[in-house]
Structure 1
Amino acid sequence: MRTPRAAATIAVASTILISLLGAGAPAHAAGSSGNLILIGGALNENAQILQRIVADADPDGSGPARARIAIVTAASAPAANATEAADPNASNAAANGLYYADLFQRFGADTYRVPIDVATNYSGDPYVPSNAFSTAVADQVRASTGVFLSGGDQSRYVATLMQCAPASGNAYTSCTDTPVLGAIRSVLNGGGVIAGSSAGLTIQNGAAMVTGGESYEAWRYGAYAGTGVGSKDLTYSPFGGFGFFTEGLLDSHFGTWGRQARMIALADHVGRDLVVGVDETTALVYDRATRQGTVIGANGVSVLDLYGADIVGTRAEGVRWHYLVNGDRIDFGTLAVTAGATKRTGAGTGSGPAVKRDIWDSPSGSGGTSSMVNQAKALVKSSASVAEGTTWERRPTYRTYLDRVSGTRWWSTGGFEGLEVSFLPE
């Protein structure tokens, strides 16, 4: 059984863990400056999120200066040729740079497209790996008031913006900043904003960054260091990412792709007690100075609290789940949740949800929420005290229990706190 730890002890333990695993940035320290805007993916040109990025990057509010956002798309695959690179509707690093530059300009920001990706594919390609070491490129980034990290594969950010010691399967345990990553870090430390969507969120993690995997395989086979390319197994990078957010493990597409179970498995494997997962078309705005997080956007942010949970082998009991929606806030120093609507105690009305088959599913389409989130929302507003679901896969089948306990609270806008989660193999 895990032993609950005070917030100060957790911060010390996090610092020690990151030091041991070789993280390139320190754990959170009081007085840190700058904001993080952690987007769970499928931004869908959400005006609330985009306006917040530009507003946080604006150096003088309503004054004459404008936000200047450096757009980093190195998590995307490189363009195969000049035609693809120039097509803003294509999906490659150069094309994505064009798309996001136009998007942020529409919201009132100046932009700089950072010309870096993992390979040079054609003559005259301006997006090249060596630009990560360019003084001129680093200076352009450093002159920005914000940085946007687009989606793709977070391992490409490691490959392009970090210098890592060779390791099997890119499971790096020692890395340092390239000049451009150093410039990105200086924007944040100087009070700027770092926003990232999907892989751009995940790369902001400290040690033990998730690199791939599905929930069922995570519980059946466990976790191991690696990139997870071509496999559903749960993999992670021991060194981690850029180390901007160290309150807990980060994951994207969270309540949309049913990733709660995979991240509980990873957190237990690496000895971490907090997971922060952000749904699609949703962002967590994190103030590093105050350690306050605010949710904006269409869906929610999950905070999974493993302190005191009983996790042995392939069973987990008593993980506390907080689900915050637009306007809700959390203090990461205390894990106190401030809801944007009145909190309710006890049961609601009506019968609880039926047992859900395939509760760890990933629904088709984007921007919504998976069965586990929907099951939890149905439970808290009903008169029931427990909701259940099973995995689609068998041999073994895992049964999920969601339990209303004395500390469970919920509110009309769809958020809740203190719901207990358990996974048991059948």
Structure 2
Amino acid sequence: MGVSSEWRPDVNISPWGPFVGKNFKNQAITRADVVTTSVVWALTLINLIIALWLGYKQYRGSRSPLRSVYIWMIWLEMFASFIMGLVCFLFVLKYLRPSFYFYCTVLFCWCIQVQLLLQIIINRIRLIVPDRHRSRMIMIVTAALVTGINVSVFSIWIPARLQINPTYILVNEIWDRIEKVVYLAIDAALNWYFLKVVKANLINNGLQKYNKLLRFNQNIIILSLLMDVMIIAAMSIPNSFIYIQFHPLAYLVKLNIEMTMANLIKRIAVSSSRKGGRENRARVISEFDSGNLSSSGQKSSATRATQATHARRSSLMELSNFGLKSTSEREDGRAVSFMPTGDQIKVTKDIHIRSEPIDGGEDHAGEIMQAKGLKPGEANVVHSKSIDDLTEGGSVKSDYMQGKGDSDDETSLVIHQTKGTWHRLG
């Protein structure tokens, strides 16, 4: 028998259930179709095993896996891809018959695939974007757009597959390709935005270690987009149903890319955060605890003024050596800077240094005052959080940009705040 001969011609695969067209006609399934489907299904299972391993490691590495939306998304993505691939493979082998329920199952799994995969990409973007409102709008707009497309596919694809009338079949031939191109464009736009944000918010601010992340994403994005192109190209296979078998393979490959990207972000973030961070903090603390800034001791007014001015300049110089001054200064002349601890992204509060007589002319040196009321003599002068202390779903944003309702929807932060200082959870 040749590869063009029909596969299991004696098996009854007549349609059943509601909404089946009166003139429904089964499309012949050849041995070539079975071979193609079997190869694609084997590759799907290989990628599923890889996804299970990566997902298990991220599950074990998460502080609260059952409360992490990100963890739930990756497991639901794997489950939907497996179910879709399995039922499509059994259908091609003629173990399942056409029906409204079968096509609804396939389409429902496909909707879960595209929705969750795009939200996982957005989760990666939300980790970097400091503006929570913007990242939330990206999530909402993408979900609304994809939901609208999903509804249209339900309204067109299922009637076309059930062969209710020729009009649905013709419209589906056109719209099915258009919506796949739309998904390709959305995927490309989200990945492009991620590259832009990494370069603008991290690399351009001096965190050169994230160049590795940028280069990796630039290369891997090509493979991710090729998966969408593969689905579009598979629609040219003579059997119009076979291309559906390519969906689970494509989305599992894209899921593995996203989980690898998440691991890379975490690995880069913590790679040098533990190197030199304590030394840098000690240098800043020693600067603030120096004799020039002591709150006790008798000095003349002229000496106090000179030393206070020198201390202010030295402190600002010390901070500028650690971080990057903002592009604009406030009206009162105070400089605001980002002070990394090690190579982390840190947010440094405003520092006010002043020298004036207190209690009827008694001599006192300059005092360090902070916006949140740091007491004199406290060692921790920097209240901050960094990308290094975030796991999946967290975000890098300045404290003064955080609103009352801000929260990390995907998972909790790795760190928590106690008495004005940040501590890692053990």
Please tell me whether Structure 1 or Structure 2 has the larger radius of gyration of its CA atoms: 2
Structure ranking higher in strand proportion: 1
Q: What is the TM-score with the length of structure 1 in the denominator?
A: 0.21
Query: Does 1 or 2 have the higher relative contact order (CA < 8 Å, sep 6+)?
Result: 2
Q: What is the TM-score with the length of structure 2 in the denominator?
A: 0.21
